[in-house]
Amino acid sequence: MLTLDLTDRTAFVSGSTQGIGLAIAQQLAEAGARVAVNGRTADRVSEGIDSLVGVGIPRARLIDAPGDVTTTDGLAAALEPVGDVDILVNNLGIFGAAPALEITDEEWQRYWEVNVLSAVRLIRATLPRMTENGWGRILNIASDSAIVTPAEMIHYGVSKTALLAVSRGFAKEAAGTGVTVNSVIAGPTYTEGVQEFVYQLVDPTLPWDEAEAEFMRLHRPQSLIQRLIRPQEIANMVVYLSSPLASATTGGALRVDGGYTDSILP
């Protein structure tokens, strides 16, 4: 029998007030972890925590961790109430469609800061204590776009490709310490933000079920499940990789992509 027991572990999930991050926070807490819920403002964090309490997560398992982790001061503020972090999930990310030749230097830099450097900074802040303690888990939420660069958002794809290298490199840094570092390659996933993105690419007057099907048919035909993944399905993989059961899995890029990536590896 598989038991995903994270009792006595503390997790920090960046960008966890909604969508995939909120689902990850919920399932880590259900596995017994204390979970720091992070967003840019105290109000957003409070809303996220209220929704978790509303589905039955005890308030004692949740930590308010507001702060913009794309800045040095914001990162410090977010980590301050948490204490030692045993499980770090770098979930924060931005995406959006843009013609390739119209993406400005400033926009490229913004994607790099949010999608890549925020993860690097959080790893630098938490990995030393994990190695001292001889146990830790770091998960970077990547994307199928890291492997199959989408023409409509190459800046996003490039940032997620970089995140795979970040994961592999820090896994080597943590070699032999009891700390594992992995990427989770999320495929096209249903969130409120993705719903807005879908309507940028298909007829905005379509009912959602039809819009989702049209988006998958026209823009993600490689998907083998032929639907958007649900956030809980991404969270399932994260909780497993966060557990003691995944002690021999590190430096990897594990796919929860609905078969979207037409490759045997990774």
- Domains of the chain, residue spans: 10-187+232-256, 190-228
Query: Which residues are identified as catalytic?
Result: 156
Name the average pLDDT for the chain: 96
Rounded Cα distance between 3 and 243, Å, is: 9
pLDDT of residue 127: 98
Residues 6 or more apart in contact with residue 108 via CB below 8 angstroms: 155
pLDDT at res. 264? 84
Cβ-contact 92, 21 below 8 angstroms: yes
Q: Give the architecture-level CATH label for domain 10-187+232-256.
A: 3-Layer(aba) Sandwich (3.40)
Statement: residue 168 has pLDDT above 90: yes
Q: Residue 265's pLDDT band (boundaries 50, 70, 90)?
A: confident
Distance CA 144, CA 238 (A): 16
